[in-house]
């Protein structure tokens, strides 16, 4: 499967495990402490990390001998890794030079001080003045960011801020940058990337994939990511945040004699005058993702329009009011919900009392329900009502909708704090929450969280969310009762991978129809 140039994508997609644990800063520290408790040393861990960093540099450059490398080091253990990498690079014949953001007499941890002293004892070159940095970078083949690690937060400041600014200028001039563990300034926990955060071409991280390297905007700062092993004693605590690999995202296998009803029966309630395409796209998404039977319930005036688009789906007309919107009596005209494994409601459905009544009825009666777009928006004045549902519920908000169902008004604030907000809302509503955007987050009511490792600009075009809603409906229709959240995470993975495929060769010009066309190929490769 082709991979987009996003942080952590290859590390996740190509994993031989079904799921890849995502570490936050606390888990990474606990892993270090576990290794030391098991008999390792801090210097031993630093030697391994620095060795991985040096190998990352030579692999990126394609050589070691004669390679001109500038390593920027801070005063923490991230800087200690940089001192080790400088020595290892010099041993491979590289012309390594360290530039320190702190004075020579700055107190360091024992491990970092030892790494520095070994570099100096070997005759390694070091500059203690930032004035030397720009000329050094101008002559460099590769620059290494070993300034700030997982324990740092916020924008780089002071001398470190000056150093990261110099790194950005050097990269703009064509010097590739390799980051140590995380790019300086990028939040290891949430992927925050304030002004001044380093943009790397390669990030060499240690012990496990840091969560912030998969979440955006941090993912866009990390480049390609490789994970360096820190030894058998490095055992971080088991967390709730993971990402599915291609193996873990594989669709369920069906027997050769599987009946169409075994593949799942889905009802899509969507569309309105002017937005019939949303119903067509959502139903097509359900069919593409493997649903055996799909019925689309739409306002009667657009029934023929939707039927012409998708002869594979059955189309059911619902009554409308004088303005062409769903009438409240549409509730009585809905098909019997007992005949459907899952219901998708909301794409292009519109507003008004009829739409609100239909969605409320579905919340009370559907076995499994996906609420998307207007299925969420009808709750803007009473988001607490989302907690009142009879069956499994899936909510698929984008940034602004996330703010609405969270009781807030500032979409940017909700998205910026999605690491805390999304799992909290999943618990509050006893629902699986899909926070759509770069690095889509899927949170289950029990606290499990998946980050989607792929995606692309194609998913930023109109209608792609409608396709996703239908795909989720198909996935949960065929899922075991206790596996709905996992099925949602798989469907989001398929959708994102199809977005990558749809965007190949089209830049940002792919459409929702291109996305639909890519889904079967993605599922075929995963099966």
362, 343 in Cβ contact below 8 A?
Answer: yes
354 is in an annotated binding site: no
248 is in an annotated binding site: no
79 is in an annotated binding site: yes
Distance CA 354, CA 522 (A): 38
240 is in an annotated binding site: no
41 is in an annotated binding site: no
437 is in an annotated binding site: yes
76 is in an annotated binding site: no
243, 451 in Cβ contact below 8 A?
Answer: yes
51, 115 in Cβ contact below 8 A?
Answer: no
32 is in an annotated binding site: no
77 is in an annotated binding site: yes
Strands (E), 346-500: 368-371, 392-395, 432-435, 441-443, 449-451
Residue among 199, 185, 203, 174 at smallest CA distance from 57:
203
**Residue position matching structure tokens 């075009």:** 461
Omega within 30 of 0 (cis) for the link into 217: yes
62 is in an annotated binding site: no
**Residue position matching structure tokens 């409308």:** 320
Distance CA 416, CA 432 (A): 20
**R_g of the chain, CA atoms, integer Å:** 26
512, 347 in Cβ contact below 8 A?
Answer: no
150 is in an annotated binding site: yes
348 is in an annotated binding site: yes
93 is in an annotated binding site: no
Region label for 516, one of left (φ > 0), alpha (ψ between -120 and 50) or beta (otherwise) = alpha
152 is in an annotated binding site: yes
304 is in an annotated binding site: no
Sheet of strand 224-228, all strands in order from the earlier edge strand to the far edge: 125-127, 95-100, 68-73, 142-146, 177-180, 202-206, 224-228
361 is in an annotated binding site: no
Quote the tokens at residue 221.
Answer: 């700062």
Quote the tokens at residue 143.
Answer: 């620059």
527 is in an annotated binding site: no
- What pairs with residue 202 in β-bridges? 178, 224
439 is in an annotated binding site: yes
398 is in an annotated binding site: yes
191, 168 in Cβ contact below 8 A?
Answer: no
255 is in an annotated binding site: no
150, 28 in Cβ contact below 8 A?
Answer: yes
Cβ partners under 8 Å of residue 321, min gap 6: 327, 352, 354
Residue among 63, 107, 55, 111 at smallest CA distance from 83:
111
438 is in an annotated binding site: yes
80 is in an annotated binding site: yes
78 is in an annotated binding site: yes
Distance CA 95, CA 212 (A): 32
- Computed from CA positions of residues 163, 169, 173, 176, in that sequence, does the dihedral angle turn out positive or negative? positive
Distance CA 294, CA 481 (A): 20
248, 274 in Cβ contact below 8 A?
Answer: no
Region label for 365, one of left (φ > 0), alpha (ψ between -120 and 50) or beta (otherwise) = alpha
Annotation: binding site for (6S)-NADPHX: 77-81, 149-155, 181, 278, 348, 398, 466
Annotated binding-site positions: 77-81, 145, 149-155, 181, 184, 278, 348, 398, 436-440, 465-466
- Provide the annotated binding site for K(+): 78, 145, 184
Task: Specify binding-site residues for AMP.
Answer: 436-440, 465
């Amino acid at each position: 499967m082709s991979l987009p140039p996003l942080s952590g994508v290859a590390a996740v997609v190509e994993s031989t495990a079904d799921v890849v644990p995502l570490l936050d800063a606390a888990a990474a520290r606990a892993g270090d402490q576990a290794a030391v408790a098991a008999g390792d040393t801090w210097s031993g861990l630093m030697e391994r990390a620095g060795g991985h960093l040096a190998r990352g540099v030579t692999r990126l450059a394609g050589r070691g001998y004669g390679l001109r490398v500038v390593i920027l080091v801070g005063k923490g253990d991230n800087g200690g890794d940089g001192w080790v990498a400088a020595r290892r690079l010099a041993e491979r014949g590289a012309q390594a030079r360290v530039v320190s953001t702190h004075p020579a007499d700055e107190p360091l941890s024992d491990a970092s001080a030892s790494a520095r002293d070994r570099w100096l004892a070997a005759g390694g070159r070091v500059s203690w003045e930032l004035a030397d940095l720009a000329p050094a970078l101008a002559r460099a083949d590769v620059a290494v960011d070993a300034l700030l690690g997982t324990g740092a937060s916020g924008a780089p400041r002071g001398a470190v801020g000056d150093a990261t600014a110099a790194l950005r200028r050097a990269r703009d001039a064509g010097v590739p940058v390799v980051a140590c563990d995380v790019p300086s300034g990028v939040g290891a926990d949430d992927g925050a990337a304030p002004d001044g955060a380093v943009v790397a071409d390669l990030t060499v991280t240690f012990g496990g994939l840091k969560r912030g390297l998969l979440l955006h905007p941090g993912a866009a700062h990390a480049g390609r990511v490789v994970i360096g092993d820190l030894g058998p004693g490095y055992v971080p605590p088991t967390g709730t945040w993971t990402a599915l690999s291609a193996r873990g995202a594989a669709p369920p296998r069906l027997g050769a004699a599987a009946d169409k009803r075994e593949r799942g029966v889905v009802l899509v309630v969507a569309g309105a005058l002017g937005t019939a395409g949303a119903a067509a796209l959502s139903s097509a998404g359900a069919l593409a993702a493997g649903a055996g039977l799909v019925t689309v319930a739409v306002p009667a005036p657009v029934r023929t329009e939707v039927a012409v688009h998708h002869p594979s789906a059955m189309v059911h007309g619902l009554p409308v009011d004088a303005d062409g919107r769903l009438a409240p009596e549409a509730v009585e005209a809905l098909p019997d919900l007992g005949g459907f494994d899952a219901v998708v409601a909301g794409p292009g459905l519109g507003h008004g009392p009829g739409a609100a009544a239909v969605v409320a009825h579905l919340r009370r009666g559907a076995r499994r329900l996906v609420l998307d777009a207007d299925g969420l928006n009808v709750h803007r004045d009473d988001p607490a009502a989302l907690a009142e549902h009879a069956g499994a519920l899936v909510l698929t908000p984008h940034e602004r909708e996330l703010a609405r169902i969270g009781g807030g008004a500032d979409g940017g604030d909700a998205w910026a704090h999605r690491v805390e907000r999304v799992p909290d809302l999943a618990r509050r509503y006893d629902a699986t929450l899909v926070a759509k955007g770069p690095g889509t987050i899927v949170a289950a009511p029990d606290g499990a969280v998946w980050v989607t490792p792929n995606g692309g600009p194609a998913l930023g075009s109109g209608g792609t969310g409608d396709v996703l809603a239908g795909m989720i409906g198909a996935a949960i229709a065929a899922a075991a009762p206790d596996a709905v959240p996992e099925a949602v995470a798989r469907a989001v993975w398929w959708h994102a991978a199809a977005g990558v495929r749809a965007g190949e060769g089209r830049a940002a010009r792919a459409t929702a129809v291109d996305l639909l066309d890519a889904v079967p190929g993605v599922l075929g490769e995963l099966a």
